[in-house]
Chain A
C-alpha cells in the first residue's frame, strides 16, 4: 500500500512576521500543525530565497559555481525548517533590523554548511549557531569594535591572511578551522586523517598536499607577522 500524501493546507501567511513563521515551523505536533509548518516554510522561502541566493553567490563565488550555490541555498532553507526552534529573535524593534537579523542568520547557516561540508562526517554535523556567532550577527567584530579596538597581532594576522595567502591556502586554513578545535587552553589537535582525506577529495589533491598547504600557510603568516612586528 502506498504511503498517504501529507495533508496540505494553504493559509495565507504572506504577511506574517518571520518570527511567527519560524515559530510555526518549529511546532509540528500533529498532522495539522505539520501542514501549517509547511505553509509557513513556503512563505518564508519565497520571501528570502532570492536575497540569500545572491548574497551567497557574491560571498562564495570563489569556492563554488552557480549550480552549487543553488544547492547550498536550498539546503540552508531545509536546515532552517528542520531546526527552526533554534532561532533566537532579534531584540531590535526596528523592522528593517529584524529582517536583517533573519537574513544574516540564514547566510551564516549557509557559510557554516559550506565549511562543514569539507569534513568527513559532514552529513552528521548539526548546523546551529554558537553564542559567539549569534552575537556577531549584531556587530561586526572583524577589525575590532568601537569599545575594543583590534589588537596589533590580530590586525597583522588578518593582513597576512588576506594579502599573503593564495586562494588554495586560504581555503585550506578556513576549511580546517573546526577540525583543530582550539580550546581556551590553546591546545592544538592534529587534523584527522578522515578530515584531511575528505578535504583532499574536494580539492582534487592528496591529504599530504592538504597538510603541507596548511603548514606552509601558517608558516608564511607567522613569518609575516614577525617581520611586521620587528619593523614597528
Chain B
C-alpha cells in the first residue's frame, strides 16, 4: 500500500538521459578545441550545469519526488554561490585597495632553479 504511489521511471527515459549526457560530453570536448576567448569557461560551465540538471532531475528523481529535496539541494548550491561570488570579489578586486602582485610562493623550489 505504502509504496504504490512510487513513480517508476521507464527504462527508455534512463537510456535517453544517459545518451543525452554522452552527447553533451562530446559537445563540451569539441567546444574546448575552439577558442571563444573569455566565453570558454561560460560555455563549459553551462554544458556541465545542463548535465547536472539532467542527473539531478532524472537519475536522482527530483523531477518526481517531494520538492523538499529540491529545496535542500538548491540550498547547497545557493550557499556555494555566495561562498564563490564573495571570495571572487575579494580576490580579484583587492588590487584596487592596495598594490598586490602575483609572485612565486617558494623561491627556492626546484622549478625556479634555472
Do A and B come together as binding partners? no
Q: Which residues of A contact B (CB under 8 A)?
A: none
